[in-house]
Amino acid sequence: MSAARYHQGPDAALEVRTNTRDKSRGFIATGAYIGLGAVLSGIVPKMAIRFASFEAYKDWLADKETGKTAIGNIFLAGLGAGVTEAVAVVTPMEVVKIRLQAQQHSLADPLEAPRYRNAAMPQATNQGANFTAYQEIKKFAHRMQPDLVDLPSYQHMVIGLISGAMGPFSNAPIDTIKTRLQKATAIPGQSAFQRIFAIAADMWKTEGVSSFYKGITPRVLRVAPGQAIVFAVYERVSGVIEKISPR
């Protein structure tokens, strides 16, 4: 093998692998959509359970005479949807993911125990704020446009974008405290609630209220656009279903 050929080997090999992969599999298989199947397998049942349970709880909490659901009951329905989603989908998937990660890293640190997160409270507060904001802003949009029977999809997207930001803001303090709790060293004789209050008090004293919302901007930028699309699609699909099989 010549010196020139050997020198350009790594770059040439990378170029050949990239060109071959791109030509044989295409952008969707190799680019921005790698792992799409795994994401869909989790997100589809998650969204189905979230919206189905919310609608069920909202109907149960509605006024029997008027059929309308008060704002407080909408929040409760959102809380219930979040808990149902956490129990049925989020927690089982989290357990499987962490156990797989623990198996992969067991050789690196055999004594490190996997840490499971409590998903019920963050999911409950997230969806309570999310659905309450969405329903109330949607009612306001209808009041401002009384001639419209159904809001256009772009308005559902805008409302979903706003309500989608409410969830991260509502449970950011819980998530921040939870993350620090997982990283903190346990003190013998101190209960979980004592540790939580100690961490929250220390954050407030040393860093101020802004410490409870660290990292909120990238999270909102990730979550809110997704919620905008989810709510717009949900409204469109549910409208089609109601026309096919009205209640």
Give the mean pLDDT of the chain: 78
Locate 92 and state its tokens: 């089982």
Q: Is residue 4 pLDDT above 50, yes or no?
A: no
CB neighbour list of residue 159: distance below 8 Å, 6 or more residues apart = 134, 137, 138, 141, 151, 231
**Residue 104 amino acid letter:** Q
Any residues with CB less than 8 A from the CB of 182 and at least 6 apart, and which?
115, 117
Angle between helices 71-85 and 120-144 (to 10 degrees): 140
In contact, 159 and 134? CB cutoff 8 Å: yes
Percent residues over pLDDT 70 in the chain: 75
With 50 as the cut, is the pLDDT of residue 208 above it? Answer: yes
Q: Concatenated DSSP letters for 81-93?
A: HHHHHIIIIIHHH
Could you report the per-residue pLDDT of 79-91, keeping only the tens digit for each?
999 999 888 887 7
Q: Residue 42 is inside which H or E element, if any?
A: helix 36-60
Q: What is the distance between the alpha carbons of residues 62 and 143, in angstroms, rounded to a whole number?
A: 20
Residue 160 CB: number of other CB atoms within 10 A?
Answer: 27
Residue 89 or residue 18, greater confidence: 89
SS3 246: coil
Angstrom distances, CA of residue 98 to CA of 113, 133, 146, 183, 239: 10, 32, 50, 16, 38
Question: pLDDT higher for 158 or 192?
Answer: 158
Average pLDDT of the residues in 16-34: 52
CA distances from 224 to 49, 168, 215, 233 (A): 19, 9, 14, 14
For tokens 């709790």, name the residue.
181
Give the amino acid at 63.
Answer: D
Closest to 167 measured CA to CA, from 133, 119, 140 = 133
